Amino acid sequence: MEIRLIVFAGLLLIAQGLSAQVKKEALAQEYFRRGEFDKAVVLYQELREQQPESDIFYRYFYQCQMALKAYDDLEKELRRLIRKQPLQLGYRVDLGAMYRQKGQPEQAKMQFEGALEQLAADRSQIVQLSNAFTAIDEYDFAIRALESGTKLLKGQAQPFDYELANLYYRKGDIPAMIGAFLNYLQADERNMPTVQASLQRNLTEESQYEELQNQVYARIQRQPNDERWTELLIWNFIQNKDFEAAFQQVRAQDRRLQEGGHRVYEFAELAQSEKAWTAAIEAYDYLASKGREGIYYFNARNGLIECRQEKLMAGFNYTEADIRGLSKDYEQFLRDYGRRDARSAEAWRSRARLHALYLQQVDSAVLWVQQTLTWPGLRPAELAEAKLDLGDYLLMDGEIWDASLLYSQVDKAMKDEPLGERARFLNARLSYFYGDFTWAKTQLEVLKASTSELVANDALNLDVFLSANMGLDTSSAAMEQYARADLLVFQNRLSEAEAVLDSMKALPPGHALADDVLWLRSTLARKTNDIEGAVSLLEALVAGFSHDILADDALFTLAELYEERLGNKEKAMEYYQSIMVDHKDSVFVVEARKRFRALRGDNLN
């Protein structure tokens, strides 16, 4: 019994002691937080005496003394610690930091240099010393610690390239940072994802990517057989949206390594998704040229036609002969692979889209898509996409309720999928076309949070338009007229759309729809190949609405028209530069910069 009482009493004393220490820590922390360093330092000194091995209590004690400028007391304590623990080089760094704060830079440098001189071939000590210098923003000394450590270890452990790269970044020495990351990659090819992620995070200016390109080229010259440098060069081109230059490297690598087209096909898909159609077409054409024995032959031919159509649909620089030539290519492709081959469904739908949108053959498009819906082997998503297409063509043909029914069927069948959200957007857009703005806006408010970026962006754009223009007058007549014109443009009934827009010329000055009317009229002009008229309308939009939401769209379109249709390089550069300078947050900035540099004659390769 007596032994149990003694044990219990001992445990009680320990508990009381711990409780008192916890309270003391909390009180010290509160004093420190409130800036009452004279009170905090006393408590931290007591805690240090109770736990002399605690680095946390020392660190707070040091910060309190520095805040109080108690330099004499702090110097004595630091020299005592240095004598007691000479291998803990951080104390010398702390002493140097104290001298630096005190205004004695030579004394500070002496301590920093002394710490470096005492460095041993101990990876842990090397890292700790570098971290100590980094903590007080002495990046040059932190770098020297790692460089000295590399020499001391003499290949006994992994070099400090990654840590050096981050220090160079902190220091602002981007070329040195890039060199260190390349050394880190050279040490182990498995470091490629880390290097790419770090460079993507740290490189923010075009000149910095150019520096990376130059350094990678230098490595290629020194190590022409090391494929990691080519891979990084390709990555760099893609980061700068220079897909044409990237393709040259991807193709060369495919030939050199005899990869069978795998890398080229992945690149082609990426370029297509980024709307870099010229590079994508070149990549698909390269794969198709390998012949039917190539494993990507079908996909390449399909992708090739898709890209040509997407490129055509993105602008207005085409002729009817271009459209009919593309239609013939679709027909040949479908003959080669069979009209009821499930793999050909996308091509069949694309040909229908071409005829509906560009040859005004809506009846043919409706018939072809209806036939596609009966094909065996189609996945639910493919059926849903075909129904959405059919709904669009029926809407173009004026069959409103049939179109809405198809959209609703897809919405129900694919409720929790992006295609279901797309169907709900199309129904909301249909309501907008026919003047039910309130219901459309209710649906768009939900769709703005869509998991599909495309749907979310389309919903946001239409919602912003409705928010800005609903209730502009008591009758909503102007909005209904505009929505009617927008529908007619969608239906390719261009002369009727122009008549509706002509009736809106009487809008009062400064009306909120004025810039939208100019934009839609410029679209009509481009569709009818009236390039001079489109330019005049877009320039009026830029001049009168330079800070509105359509301004950067108008600038980029103007630049494209001057570059591609009018052959006026100087005017194109002027508008590209305007986007770069006046609309820095625009989605067109990257492409505008690339095109500006190309027109200026910069060597982008």
Kindly report the three-state secondary structure assignment for every residue of 310-337: HHHHCCCCCCHHHHHHHHHHHHHHHHHH
Determine contact, residues 198/184, Cβ cutoff 8 Å. no
Comparing C-alpha atoms, which of 298, 296, 301 is closest to residue 264?
296
Residue written as token pair 């793999």: 343
38: Cα within 13 Å, side-chain hemisphere: 0
Angle between helices 227-239 and 192-202 (to 10 degrees): 30
For position 3, what pLDDT does the model report?
A: 56
* Cβ-based neighbours of 405, under 8 Å, separated by 6 or more: none
Q: How confident is the model at residue 12 (pLDDT cuts 50, 70, 90)?
A: very low
Comparing C-alpha atoms, which of 428, 354, 419 is closest to residue 388?
419
Q: How confident is the model at residue 334 (pLDDT cuts 50, 70, 90)?
A: confident
The token pair at 372 is: 């596609």
For position 9, what pLDDT does the model report?
A: 41
77: Cα within 13 Å, side-chain hemisphere: 17
Determine contact, residues 48/54, Cβ cutoff 8 Å. yes
Q: How confident is the model at residue 2 (pLDDT cuts 50, 70, 90)?
A: low
**First-to-last C-alpha distance (Å) of the chain:** 89
Neighbouring C-beta atoms of residue 49, cutoff 10 Å:
9
Q: How much is the pTM?
A: 0.70
CA angle 528, 530, 534 (to 5 degrees): 110
Residue 22: is its pLDDT beyond 90?
no
CA–CA distance, 243 with 274 (Å, rounded to integer): 9
For position 265, what pLDDT does the model report?
A: 94
Q: Cα dist. 228→35, 181, 196 in Å?
A: 53, 13, 12
Report, as an integer, the average pLDDT of 478-490: 92
SS3 177: helix
Digit-coded pLDDT (tens) for 510-535: 788 889 999 999 999 998 889 999 99
Q: Dihedral sign, CA of 473, 479, 480, 482?
A: positive
Residue 18: is its pLDDT beyond 70?
no
Query: What is the phi-psi region of residue 158: left when phi exceeds 0, alpha when psi lies from -120 to 50, beta otherwise?
Result: beta
For position 594, what pLDDT does the model report?
A: 84
Buried b (16+ CB within 10 A) or exposed e, 544-569: ebeebebbbbbbbbbbbbbbebeeee
* Cβ-based neighbours of 186, under 8 Å, separated by 6 or more: 219, 226, 228
Determine contact, residues 575/559, Cβ cutoff 8 Å. yes
- What is the phi/psi pair of residue 320, to 5°? -65, -30
CA–CA distance, 368 with 355 (Å, rounded to integer): 10
DSSP H or E segment with residue 76:
helix 71-84
Q: Average pLDDT, whole number, for the chain?
A: 88
Residue 10: is its pLDDT beyond 90?
no
96: Cα within 13 Å, side-chain hemisphere: 23
For position 19, what pLDDT does the model report?
A: 67
For position 16, what pLDDT does the model report?
A: 46
Hey, what domains does the chain have and what are their CATH numbers?
477-600 (1.25.40.10)
CA–CA distance, 358 with 311 (Å, rounded to integer): 13
DSSP 49-70: HH-TT-HHHHHHHHHHHHHHT-
Report, as an integer, the average pLDDT of 30-52: 89
SS3 165: helix
Determine contact, residues 286/278, Cβ cutoff 8 Å. no
More confident residue, 22 or 342: 22
Percent of the chain with pLDDT over 70: 94
**H-helix segments, 338-417:** 345-358, 362-372, 380-396, 400-413
Neighbouring C-beta atoms of residue 219, cutoff 10 Å:
20
Q: Dihedral sign, CA of 240, 241, 245, 248?
A: positive
CA–CA distance, 293 with 276 (Å, rounded to integer): 27
SS3 440: helix
Residue 604: is its pLDDT beyond 70?
no
* Cβ-based neighbours of 446, under 8 Å, separated by 6 or more: 424
More confident residue, 412 or 340: 412
For position 8, what pLDDT does the model report?
A: 39
Comparing C-alpha atoms, which of 536, 535, 432 is closest to residue 485?
432
Residue 474: is its pLDDT beyond 50?
no
Residue written as token pair 């082609």: 268
Q: Cα dist. 422→127, 349, 408, 419, 562 in Å?
A: 54, 17, 10, 5, 35
- What is the phi/psi pair of residue 309, to 5°? -70, -40
Lowest-confidence region among 28-32, 383-387, 505-509: 505-509
More confident residue, 210 or 12: 210
Percent of the chain with pLDDT over 90: 58
Digit-coded pLDDT (tens) for 177-194: 999 999 999 999 999 999
For position 157, what pLDDT does the model report?
A: 62
CA–CA distance, 601 with 331 (Å, rounded to integer): 40
Q: Cα dist. 488→345, 485, 551 in Å?
A: 28, 5, 24
Q: In the chain, how long is the greatest CA-to-CA distance? A: 108
Q: How confident is the model at residue 128 (pLDDT cuts 50, 70, 90)?
A: very high
Report, as an integer, the average pLDDT of 144-150: 92
Digit-coded pLDDT (tens) for 159-179: 899 999 999 999 999 999 999
